[in-house]
Amino acid sequence: MNFNDIFKSSFMENVTAVSLLDMAIALVLAFCIGLFIFMVYQKTYQGVMYSSSFGVTLIAMTMITTVVILAVTSNVVLSLGMVGALSIVRFRTAIKEPLDIAFLFWSIAVGIVLAAGFIPLAVIGSVIIGVILLIFVNKKSHYNPYIAVLSCDGSESEKAAKEYLSKMTQRCTVKSKSAQKGMVEVNFEIRLKDDNTDFINELSEMQGVKSAVLVSYNGDYMG
């Protein structure tokens, strides 16, 4: 085999299957939209500990998916091999926040759409998705559940505190109760009537109430 045979091989012909201009446009757009996804992720994150590496992963995922789909669309045979190769990949990293799954699929979908040539769909769709996430995820609602943790010195003060909570909130339900000599600790699940939480200050000043703590609750953690 000489140099002429190498340059005439099908491998070298595949080099020009995707033009450099198409690759540059697709990757630049993938980076820009991936950066936009990263910014939306920062603005809408509501977890306990923010991970900057996951945000960078969103940008990389968008660009990597674009590269893979560009290769697949340029060669039918390669696409079949790529499906087989990617089918053996296993990801064992736990997704801590359900919303993180939406951002991962968003990054992958943008990479696929960009590489397929649907640039307006990728750009306009990403803007609409980003605006919807910013509106609904950051929307604070007083209908979210809260946990009121009360420490009382007896059953009388506990009863008075519960009556006060029932009057000041939309709903008040006992979730747990522990009693010791001279102290009763009760956890109430409550729904607020509005965004005002000053009642917890007044509750802590009631006779027989040693402490009153109010925390938000989303089903996974309290904070």
Tens digit of each residue's pLDDT (9 = 90 or more) over 174-195: 888 888 887 889 888 888 887 7
Secondary structure letter of residue 222 according to DSSP: B
Q: Answer with the residue of higher pLDDT: 220 or 82.
A: 82
% residues pLDDT > 90 (the chain): 18
Rg (CA), the chain: 28
Tens digit of each residue's pLDDT (9 = 90 or more) over 24-43: 899 999 999 999 999 999 88
Return the structure tokens found at 76: 């039918």
CA 63 to each of CA 115, 156, 222: distance values in angstroms, whole numbers, following the listed order: 10, 64, 36
pLDDT band at 52 (very low <50, low <70, confident <90, very high): confident
Q: How many residues does the chain have?
A: 223
Burial class (CB in 10 A: 0-12, 13-18, 19+), 104: middle
Taking residue 75's Cβ as centre, other Cβ atoms within 10 Å add up to 15
Q: Which helix (H) or strand (E) holds 176?
A: strand 169-180
Q: Answer with the residue of higher pLDDT: 120 or 216.
A: 120
What the chain holds in terms of domains, given with CATH numbers, is 3-137 (no CATH), 145-216 (3.30.70.260)
Its pTM stands at: 0.63
Beta bridge partners of 212: 150
pLDDT at position 168, please?
85
